[in-house]
Amino acid sequence: MMNLSLTRQEMHKFLVTHSSVTLPYGIRKMVKLRHIRLTGERINKIGMQYPHDQYPFVLDNLQTVSWVDPWSCQDLLFGTPNIRKLGFRGQLIDRGCLSFPHLGFLNHLQELKLFNTGHNCSSNSLKSIQFPPNLKKLTLKKTNLKWDAMSTLVKLLPNLEVLKLLLHACTGQHWETNDGEFPQLKLLKLESLEIMQWDVSSNHFPTLQRLQLVNCHGLENIPSEIGYIPTLQVIEVHQCNPCLVNSAREIKEEQESMGNNWLQIIDSHNQS
């Protein structure tokens, strides 16, 4: 259902829905529409003016489709070839596999958010997944990927610059990264994960600029190798084990002892 408090001008910028929907026929005429946001409901269909209306659905200016159910939006996505941001919210795990519709045809898509609302079973297979070719930003939440599956995931995303792993995005206490996995990554965020041990080398994240650690209570140590990433500018630690803050500051002190004074540490109470 559309939010009727919006003016017609606002409707061209943002269409909000709050229940299982049939997108109205009038949406076809909103050629200036730039953003559609749902809250995970299924799209029944895109409205037709007549029972057998075959008028093509195309919104070339649409840039964002947020929190759409992944399995009911194909007609919508086929009519929005230029979207840059897409968020799926729904059942994303099928028989132990992370699963969502093929997105290879969305050549302009740069940011994808995957929020699984299905069963919390672990997923370690990425078979048949097709990512957009130019994807730069990926956010995962409740996808329950095993850490080993991350090695496969990043190989499918050679241009990835931002990776945010939020609540239950990955399952398991040990993450070991490997050479050549994150060649373009600039920002890495780990939030509300059960990770306790992280094995990494500085050449695993050769272009990392910002590391964010939030609500990761089991992790007590940031690998000192992180400090040797030449591009690293900021380490943020929020709502974590105090040992993690101390670990970040030890990395900063070690780098300063070698004349590297650019690293900034930000925690919940202090900034340096």
Question: Which mean pLDDT values do the consecutive 10-residue runs of the chain (272 residues) have?
Answer: 39 46 73 79 57 64 89 85 93 86 92 88 73 93 91 89 96 91 95 95 91 96 93 95 94 91 84 48
Structural contact between residues 96 and 125, judged by C-beta atoms closer than 8 angstroms: yes
Tell me whether residue 213 is in a domain: yes
**Closest listed residue to residue 86, CA positions, set 114, 60, 118:** 114
Buried residues in 49-84 as b, exposed as e (16+ CB within 10 A): eeeeeeeebebeebbbbbbbbbbbbeebbebbeebb
Q: Is there a domain that residue 143 lies in?
A: no
Residue 206 included in any domain: yes
> Quick count: other Cβ atoms within 10 Å of Cβ 182?
24
Q: Which two tokens stand for residue 94?
A: 């099928």
Q: What local confidence, expressed as pLDDT, does residue 44 receive?
A: 62
Nearest Cα to Cα of residue 168 among 138, 192, 139: 192
pLDDT of residue 55: 53
Residue 178 lies in a domain: yes
Question: What is the pLDDT at residue 8?
Answer: 46
Stated as kind and residue range, the H or E segment containing 9 is helix 8-11
Please check whether residue 124 is in contact with residue 95, taking contact to mean a CB–CB distance below 8 angstroms.
no
5 falls within a domain: no
Number of structural domains found in the chain? 1
In a domain, 212, yes or no: yes
Q: For residues 15 and 65, what is the distance between their CA atoms, to the nearest angstrom?
A: 10
- 141 found inside a domain: no
The single-letter code of the amino acid at 234 is: V
Any domain includes 180: yes
- Give the global pTM: 0.86
* Residue ranges making up the domain that contains 215: 172-272
Q: What is the pLDDT, as a whole number, of residue 79?
A: 86
What Rg do the C-alpha atoms of the chain give, in angstroms? 21
